[in-house]
Amino acid sequence: MSLQDLYIANNQRKRLLKAVADEELLQLDEGALVLNVAAYLGFKALSGESPIEEILGDVELDYSAEYIVFN
Protein backbone atom coordinates (compact mmCIF):
# COMPACT_ATOMS: atom_id res chain seq x y z
CA MET A 1 0.00 0.00 0.00
CA SER A 2 1.47 3.35 -0.99
CA LEU A 3 0.76 6.49 0.99
CA GLN A 4 1.48 10.18 0.71
CA ASP A 5 1.51 12.10 4.00
CA LEU A 6 0.64 15.79 3.90
CA TYR A 7 0.38 18.24 6.75
CA ILE A 8 -2.44 20.77 6.40
CA ALA A 9 -3.85 23.61 8.48
CA ASN A 10 -6.95 23.07 10.60
CA ASN A 11 -9.02 25.42 8.41
CA GLN A 12 -8.04 23.38 5.32
CA ARG A 13 -9.11 20.20 7.12
CA LYS A 14 -12.54 21.70 7.84
CA ARG A 15 -12.90 22.87 4.24
CA LEU A 16 -11.95 19.41 2.92
CA LEU A 17 -14.54 17.71 5.12
CA LYS A 18 -17.20 20.14 3.92
CA ALA A 19 -16.25 19.93 0.23
CA VAL A 20 -15.89 16.13 0.04
CA ALA A 21 -18.77 14.62 2.00
CA ASP A 22 -18.62 11.19 0.33
CA GLU A 23 -17.02 8.73 2.77
CA GLU A 24 -15.95 6.52 -0.14
CA LEU A 25 -13.56 9.32 -1.14
CA LEU A 26 -12.49 10.89 2.15
CA GLN A 27 -12.57 9.24 5.58
CA LEU A 28 -11.67 10.44 9.05
CA ASP A 29 -9.36 7.88 10.70
CA GLU A 30 -7.85 8.52 14.14
CA GLY A 31 -7.77 12.27 13.58
CA ALA A 32 -6.32 12.08 10.06
CA LEU A 33 -8.22 12.52 6.81
CA VAL A 34 -7.58 9.67 4.36
CA LEU A 35 -8.26 10.17 0.66
CA ASN A 36 -8.84 7.14 -1.58
CA VAL A 37 -6.94 8.32 -4.68
CA ALA A 38 -8.59 5.94 -7.20
CA ALA A 39 -12.09 6.89 -6.03
CA TYR A 40 -11.19 10.59 -6.07
CA LEU A 41 -9.81 10.42 -9.61
CA GLY A 42 -13.06 8.73 -10.71
CA PHE A 43 -15.05 11.48 -9.00
CA LYS A 44 -12.98 14.16 -10.75
CA ALA A 45 -13.48 12.50 -14.15
CA LEU A 46 -17.25 12.26 -13.72
CA SER A 47 -17.92 15.62 -12.10
CA GLY A 48 -15.23 17.79 -13.63
CA GLU A 49 -14.61 19.24 -10.15
CA SER A 50 -11.30 19.36 -8.24
CA PRO A 51 -12.24 20.45 -4.70
CA ILE A 52 -9.08 19.17 -3.01
CA GLU A 53 -6.73 20.92 -5.42
CA GLU A 54 -8.75 24.14 -5.05
CA ILE A 55 -8.50 24.02 -1.25
CA LEU A 56 -4.83 22.99 -1.05
CA GLY A 57 -3.59 25.30 -3.79
CA ASP A 58 0.05 24.65 -4.75
CA VAL A 59 0.44 21.41 -2.77
CA GLU A 60 1.68 18.58 -5.02
CA LEU A 61 -0.55 15.50 -4.79
CA ASP A 62 0.88 12.07 -5.66
CA TYR A 63 -1.84 10.42 -7.75
CA SER A 64 0.23 7.23 -8.02
CA ALA A 65 -0.29 6.61 -4.28
CA GLU A 66 -3.25 4.51 -3.15
CA TYR A 67 -4.09 6.89 -0.33
CA ILE A 68 -3.23 10.44 0.65
CA VAL A 69 -3.24 11.08 4.40
CA PHE A 70 -3.87 14.64 5.57
CA ASN A 71 -2.61 15.30 9.10
57 Cβ partners below 8 Å, 6+ apart? none
Closest CA to 25 of 9, 10, 47: 47
Buried b (16+ CB within 10 A) or exposed e, 1-31: eeebebeeeeebbebbeeebeeeebbeeeee
Q: What is the pLDDT of residue 1?
A: 85
Q: pTM (2 decimals)?
A: 0.91
pLDDT block averages, 10 residues each, the chain of length 71: 94 94 92 96 95 94 96 94
- Report the number of distinct structural domains present in the chain: 1
| Host domain of residue 63 | 3-70
Q: Is 67 helix (H, G, I), strand (E, B) or coil?
A: strand
